[in-house]
Structure 1
Amino acid sequence: MSKVTLEGFILVPSSDLQAVTRELVNHKKLTLEEPGCLVFKVQQHSENPLRFDVYEEFVDRSAFDRHQERVKSSYWGAVTKNVTRHYQIIE
């Protein structure tokens, strides 16, 4: 199996910005602790505070899929339900 990389950004509605920013620290910590997570970076854009650039690497598709499932049922999943995701996934 090959490594899976996700790269792109999310756009956060201004009404959700505070909750997303607050929960991001926990989301990063939990993701980096996941088996198979190699790299996980989410950074607020310097010129647009509603944009967060995202870069993730997982050892394989199975690890990536487990991450996606965890996120769906997490608090992060709840606070980011209104964000617009712009991702490219490379295998």
Structure 2
Amino acid sequence: MSAPRIVLDGALRCRDEADAAAVRAHLAKHVRLTRAEPGCLAFAVDPTDDPLVWEVRERFADAEAFAAHQARVRESEWGRATAGIPRAYEVREER
């Protein structure tokens, strides 16, 4: 039996325009690097009608790939620039 996929769905909720500017400044590179990671099946961070909120959808092949992604993000420009921005995420396994 194969390992379950890891699915993350939720929202990045900026507190103010400064947070939103940080997201806009770093998002394209973050998306490009994440999509190139081994085990990344899908990754999207899309604006919503609210200019301070982005919808986040992630799919990874397994828990190991998801953990590697999280570790890379913590050390990345994106991770440092957006560390204080609140996230509302649900992470689950999917078969």
| Shorter-normalised TM range | over 0.9
Q: 1:11 — aligned with what?
A: 13
Work out the CA distance in 2 between the residues paired with 1:51 and 1:16: 10
Q: Secondary structure at the match of 2:4?
A: coil
C-alpha RMSD over aligned residues: 0.8
Deviations 1:36-76 (A, max 9, x none): 0000010011x211000000000000000000000000000
Offset at residue 81 of structure 1 (A)? 1.3
Give the residue type in structure 2 aligned to 1:67.
Answer: H
SS at match of 1:83: coil
**1:1-91 pair list within 5 angstroms:** 1-13=3-15, 14-45=17-48, 47-91=49-93
Q: Give the % identical residues.
A: 39
CA distance in 2, matches of 1:9, 1:16: 14
Alpha-carbon distance between aligned partners in 2 of 1:17 and 1:71, rounded to the nearest angstrom: 18
The list of structure 1 runs, each at least 4 consecutive aligned residues, that deviate by more than 4 angstroms after superposition, is: none
What is the one-letter code of the residue matched to 2:5? K
Q: Distance in 2 between matches of 1:78 and 1:32?
A: 19
Structure 1-normalised TM-score?
Answer: 0.95
**Uncovered stretches (5+) of structure 1, i.e. residues with no partner:** none
Secondary structure at the residue paired with 1:69? helix
Supply the AA of the counterpart residue of 1:3.
R
